């Protein structure tokens, strides 16, 4: 699996499908999530044909298809009409066990709308008589309806992303993940010390990551000043449609339309508030967008007239606070990966504001007993003390359920008194940043 970090479960799934040849499947996922890298690694030990659509000319697509089939067959093949695509695939590949990959499917269909019909005919009539595993890959999951086997590629977990930087400390891993999340392409761009990459690739003129964040918004939305104001409002803390619209100075109806579009495109995440109102609340789902609008966008004016070193130094306090928030998200992910849980989420008051001390709660099953996990997370500052535990217990009285299980996540440790107390208390667990990154 050279060239592909992680994705072990996805690879096992594809191998299981491969064993069922002849077969067809679809892979979908947002740009930069590593779809092509996964396919390249999967096909590395298999006979395969790789064909990629292009949004260019029809002739560009036909040339690429001809080149791919010629390379596989070892002889010159020319396809002058897309109607000949699948007949030639069957002719060239049908008698061998071959993986045929059609990447960027929507680009191919944009040039040849009739290709959808040709694909359906091939899958229903022709593929059963071959030894072909057909993989159709695209950003748009709307193609899933045509396939029995589908793989919806998601961002990688924080633990999987460790494979990109084997020499990083847990704090460095956390910093990178908080900023770019589980997107493989972004993880690979973080080469060197995180602080150097942040300074040079976010806080510099024409920096790579800042340009990518701007392009991400442009590519996924109908870009408008209102869209940027919505993201800025959310970066400043607005979560409900009403609050976002007010902060962005736009109508509620227009804000709803824009937010729903960005949610559909995967840029925003919707959840139902745990408060009394049960209103929908939204957050920026893309880490790189969140960092850009919460931190970089705030310092953009100074970038025009100061050095990247100066701007980074001025932003350092905000960056640390951002990573601290990222630590809390990682801790929630730790719970979902290490406990049998039915719910995990932030605790909200009646007005939908978040609790300032309890970072999240979860309903978990521990040794066949249902318990309410109450968590507090602290990355920087002073070690947790018995006083902190007492405060957590006091705050947790407003959380429904009597069988509480307290978890303190810390990047700066615990006092000896608290450690000693935890060693004999089955309702308290202390976890360090190292523990979280061991999984």
DSSP class per residue in 304-360: TTS-HHHHHHHHHHHHHHHHHHHHHHHHHHHHHHHSEEEEEE--B-TTSPBPSS--E
* Residue 104 backbone zone (phi > 0: left; psi -120 to 50: alpha; other: beta): left
Confidence of residue 90 (pLDDT cuts 50, 70, 90): very high
Residue 205's Cβ-count burial label (10 Å; 0-12, 13-18, 19+) is: exposed
Mention every residue, 6+ apart, whose C-beta is less than 8 A from residue 98: 46, 47, 48, 49, 72, 131, 132, 133
Confidence of residue 243 (pLDDT cuts 50, 70, 90): very high
For the chain, residues classed under CATH 1.10.10.10 are 160-325
Highest mean pLDDT among 140-144, 219-223, 408-412: 408-412
Average pLDDT over residues 363-382: 95
Confidence of residue 211 (pLDDT cuts 50, 70, 90): confident
Position 272 pLDDT exceeds 70 = no
Closest alpha carbon to 344 in 367, 377, 383, 306: 377
CATH number for the segment(s) 160-325: 1.10.10.10
Average pLDDT over residues 142-158: 89
Domain spanning 8-152: CATH 3.40.50.300:
yes
For the chain, residues classed under CATH 3.40.50.300 are 8-152
Query: Among 68-72, 115-119, 202-206, whose mean pLDDT is lowest?
Result: 202-206
In whole angstroms, give the CA distance from residue 201 to residue 171. Answer: 19
Average pLDDT over residues 396-420: 94
**Is there a contact between 72 and 101 (Cβ–Cβ < 8 Å)?**
no
299 or 391: which leads in pLDDT: 391
In whole angstroms, give the CA distance from residue 235 to residue 254. Answer: 19
In this prediction, residue 214 carries a pLDDT of 72
In whole angstroms, give the CA distance from residue 216 to residue 225. Answer: 15
**Is there a contact between 196 and 269 (Cβ–Cβ < 8 Å)?**
no
- Please state whether the peptide bond connecting residue 58 to the residue before it is cis, i.e. omega within 30 degrees of 0: no
Mention every residue, 6+ apart, whose C-beta is less than 8 A from residue 32: 183, 184, 185, 186
Q: 261 φ, ψ to 5°?
A: -65, -45
Mention every residue, 6+ apart, whose C-beta is less than 8 A from residue 139: 28, 29, 30, 31, 106
Query: Among 21-25, 239-243, 274-278, 300-304, whose mean pLDDT is lowest?
Result: 274-278
Confidence of residue 150 (pLDDT cuts 50, 70, 90): very high
In whole angstroms, give the CA distance from residue 135 to residue 182. Answer: 24
Mean pLDDT for all residues in the chain: 89
Confidence of residue 145 (pLDDT cuts 50, 70, 90): confident
Say which residue the tokens 């976002």 belong to: 244
Confidence of residue 218 (pLDDT cuts 50, 70, 90): low
In this prediction, residue 2 carries a pLDDT of 47
pTM above 0.95, yes or no: no
In this prediction, residue 93 carries a pLDDT of 87
349 or 281: which leads in pLDDT: 281
Mention every residue, 6+ apart, whose C-beta is less than 8 A from residue 186: 32, 180, 209, 212, 288
Give the Å distances, CA to CA, from 384 to 317, 329, 356, 359, 413.
21, 19, 16, 14, 7
Average pLDDT over residues 137-154: 87
347 or 183: which leads in pLDDT: 183
In whole angstroms, give the CA distance from residue 70 to residue 389. Answer: 68
Query: Among 164-178, 295-309, 326-340, whose mean pLDDT is lowest?
Result: 295-309
Position 277 pLDDT exceeds 90 = no
In this prediction, residue 142 carries a pLDDT of 79
Q: Which CATH class is domain 339-438?
A: alpha beta
For CA atoms 194, 195, 197, 203, the dihedral sign is positive
Closest alpha carbon to 375 in 339, 416, 350: 339
For the chain, residues classed under CATH 3.40.1350.10 are 339-438
In this prediction, residue 1 carries a pLDDT of 38
Q: 375 φ, ψ to 5°?
A: -120, 145
**DSSP labels for 7-24?**
-HHHHHHHHHHHTT-SEE
In this prediction, residue 435 carries a pLDDT of 97
The CB density around residue 310, as the number of other CB atoms within 10 Å, is 14
Mention every residue, 6+ apart, whose C-beta is less than 8 A from residue 161: 5, 6, 173, 176, 177, 182, 187
Give the model confidence (pLDDT) of 307-357 as tens digits. 888 888 999 999 999 999 999 999 999 999 999 999 998 876 665 566 678
Residue 79's Cβ-count burial label (10 Å; 0-12, 13-18, 19+) is: buried
**DSSP labels for 150-169?**
EEE--PPPTTGGGGG-TT--
Closest alpha carbon to 149 in 18, 60, 39: 18
Confidence of residue 305 (pLDDT cuts 50, 70, 90): confident
**% of the chain beyond a pLDDT of 90:** 65
Q: 222 φ, ψ to 5°?
A: -80, 95
């Amino acid at each position: 699996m050279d060239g592909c970090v992680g994705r072990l479960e996805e690879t096992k799934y594809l191998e299981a499908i491969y064993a069922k040849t002849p077969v067809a499947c679809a892979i979908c996922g947002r740009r930069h999530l590593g779809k092509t890298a996964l396919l390249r690694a999967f096909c590395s030990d298999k006979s395969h044909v790789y064909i990629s659509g292009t949004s260019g000319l029809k002739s560009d697509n036909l040339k690429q298809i001809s080149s791919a089939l010629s390379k596989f067959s070892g002889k010159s093949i020319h396809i002058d009409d897309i109607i000949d695509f699948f007949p030639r695939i069957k002719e060239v590949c049908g008698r061998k066990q071959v993986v045929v990959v059609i990447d960027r499917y929507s680009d191919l269909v944009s040039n040849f709308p009739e290709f959808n019909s040709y694909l359906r005919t091939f899958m229903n009539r022709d593929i059963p008589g071959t030894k072909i595993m057909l993989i159709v890959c695209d950003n748009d999951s709307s193609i899933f309806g045509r396939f029995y086997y589908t793989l919806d590629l998601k961002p990688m977990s924080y633990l999987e992303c460790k494979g990109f930087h084997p020499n990083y400390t847990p704090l460095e891993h956390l910093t990178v993940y908080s900023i770019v999340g589980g997107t493989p392409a972004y993880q690979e761009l973080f080469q060197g010390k995180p602080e150097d990459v942040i300074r040079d690739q976010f806080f510099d003129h024409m920096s790579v990551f800042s340009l990518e964040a701007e392009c991400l918004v442009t590519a996924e939305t109908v870009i408008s000043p209102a869209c940027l104001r919505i993201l800025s409002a959310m970066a400043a803390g607005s979560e409900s449609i009403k609050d976002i619209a007010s902060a962005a100075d736009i109508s509620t109806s227009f804000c709803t339309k824009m937010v729903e579009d960005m949610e559909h495109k995967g840029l925003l995440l919707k959840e139902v508030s745990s408060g009394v109102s049960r209103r929908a609340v939204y957050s920026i789902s893309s880490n790189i967008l969140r960092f850009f609008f919460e931190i970089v966008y705030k310092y953009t004016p100074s970038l025009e007239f100061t050095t990247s070193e100066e701007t980074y130094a001025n932003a350092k306090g905000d960056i640390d606070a951002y990573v601290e928030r990222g630590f809390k998200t990682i801790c929630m992910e730790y719970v979902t990966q290490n406990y049998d849980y039915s719910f995990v989420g932030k605790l909200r008051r009646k007005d939908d504001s978040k609790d300032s001390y309890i970072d999240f709660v979860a309903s978990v099953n521990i040794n066949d007993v249902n318990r309410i996990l109450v968590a507090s997370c602290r990355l920087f500052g002073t070690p947790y003390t018995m006083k902190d535990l007492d405060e957590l217990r006091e705050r947790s009285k407003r959380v429904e359920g009597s069988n509480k299980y307290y978890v303190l996540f810390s990047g700066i440790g615990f006092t000896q008194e608290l450690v000693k107390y935890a060693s004999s208390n089955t309702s308290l667990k202390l976890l360090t940043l190292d523990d979280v990154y061991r999984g």
